[in-house]
Structure 1
Amino acid sequence: MSNDVAYPVFCTPDPALAVSTARRLVEFGRTEFCKVSVYAELPSVAAVRRVAKALPQAWFRGREKPEEFDVARSDARPALIFGVQGFALPADSAVYEGRLPVACELDDLPVGSIEDAFVTLIGPNAGELNWDSLSWPDAPELDFFGESKHAEVTLLLNTRTRELDEPVADHTVLVHVRSISVDGHQLREPYAHWLAQQVGLTVTGPGQR
């Protein structure tokens, strides 16, 4: 089993520029199987309802309350913990008490079908766009073979970490490669630098696992 590591290659407060920059990397490695997935953390009931109205097929999941951790029977837990699609979300605001932020997720969509609209839709809230099933080419001058399994591009929205735990007012593009670590050193980091350079970008920080 292998894992990926993602390197930041661009950061901007302009969401449109962030999306267009991420697309340059996506196009560099795009295949016919490439898909895009979206994710956001919504801090209010109003935000949840607004996004659900625009994305009724998306899945919404609320936080589990501490007293529910030991509930053995899954059917004794509220459906919102496991995920409810937007069109089926409960109307009662009390259902969301103690469950915010609510995560919103929609996976495996056609590239170009949702990116711009999603960025506008989530506004200042933390989220991400992730393009996968890409294929990075060989870099013979560096003696690196290409990459498919871990060839991805992520655009972090209003955060700079993959955990979405550091809110900021800008957006960061990440390029993913296979993680091969020896004594704490990522052997394929030069490949990430090479990929960024192919579309006029530069690695700007350490890799994120």
Structure 2
Amino acid sequence: MSNDIAYPVFRTTDLALALSTARRLMEFGRCEYSEVSVYAEFRSVTEVRRVAKELPEAWFRGQAEYEEFHGVPWDEQPPLVVGVQEPGLPADPAAYEGRLPVECGLSELPVGSIEDAFTAAIGTNVGWINWEMLSWPDAPESGFQGEFKHAAVTLLFNARTRELDEPAEDHTVLVHVRSASVDGRQLREPYAYWLAEQVGLTVIGPGQRL
């Protein structure tokens, strides 16, 4: 089993520039099977409702403890816990007590179908766009074979880590490659540099693993 590692290659407070830069890198590896997923976290009911109106196709799910509904049939659990789209969101603010932050996401969509709307809706909330199933080319002059399984680009909104645990006032673009570590050294880190350089970028920080 192999894992990926993602390197930051660009950072800016300009939301439109962050998206266009991430797209430029993504297009370098885009192929017919490429797809996109989005995810965000909202810490207020107001933001959940606002974004739901802007992204009615998105799914929203609140927090819950496993023991809270242990043994309770799925269809008897609160809709917000199971996951709902905009029409199914609770109208009573009390229904959100203990459920924040509410998560929002859409997965495995065609490239170009959600990115603009999601970026316009994100506001100051943390989240990401992830383009995956890309195809990085060979770099024979650098001695690296191409990559498919772990070829991806992520745009982090208002955060600097993939875990979204470091809120920030800027946005970061990450390039993903296969993780291959020997004695703590990432053997494919130079390949990440090479990929970034192909679109005029460079690695600006340490790799991130989940």
TMscore range, shorter length: over 0.9
Partner residue in 2 for 1:147? 147
Which residue of 2 is the match for residue 180 of structure 1? 180
Partner of 1:48: 48
The match for 1:87 is 87
SS of 2:119's equivalent in the other structure is: helix
Give, in angstroms, the shift of residue 36 of structure 1.
Answer: 1.2
Q: Secondary structure at the match of 1:159?
A: coil
**Residue 72 of structure 1, aligned match among 70, 73, 82:** 70
Secondary structure at 2:171's aligned position in 1? strand
Give the drift of 1:19.
0.4
Deviation at 1:85, TM superposition (A): 2.2
* 1:157-206 Cα deviation digits (max 9, x unpaired): 00000011111110000000011111211111110000000000000000
Identity of counterpart residues, as a percentage?
69
Flag structure 2 segments of 5+ consecutive residues without an equivalent.
Answer: none
Q: 1:138 to 1:74 in 2, by over 3 A?
A: farther
Give the Cα separation in 2 of the matches to 1:20 and 1:70: 43
Q: Distance in 1 between matches of 2:149 and 2:87?
A: 34
Give the match's secondary structure for 2:170: strand
Distance, in Å, in 1 between the alignment partners of 2:205 and 2:199 is 17
**SS at 2:31 equivalent:** coil
Name the CA distance, whole Å, in 2 between partners of 1:187 and 1:84.
Answer: 43
Give yes or no for contact 1:5–1:177 (8 Å, CA) kept in 2: yes
* CA deviations over 1:7-49 (Å, ceiling 9, x no partner): 0000000000000100111110010111111110011111111
TM-score by length of 2: 0.94
- Please say which of residues 193-202 and 71-80 is displaced more in the overlay: 71-80
Q: Any unmatched runs of 5+ in structure 1?
A: none
Aligned residue number for residue 123 of structure 1 = 123
Q: How does 1:90-169 map to 2 (within 5 A)?
A: 90-169=90-169
So what's the TM-score if we normalise by structure 1? 0.94
> For residue 158 of structure 2, what is the amino acid of its counterpart?
N
Equivalent residue pairs, number: 207
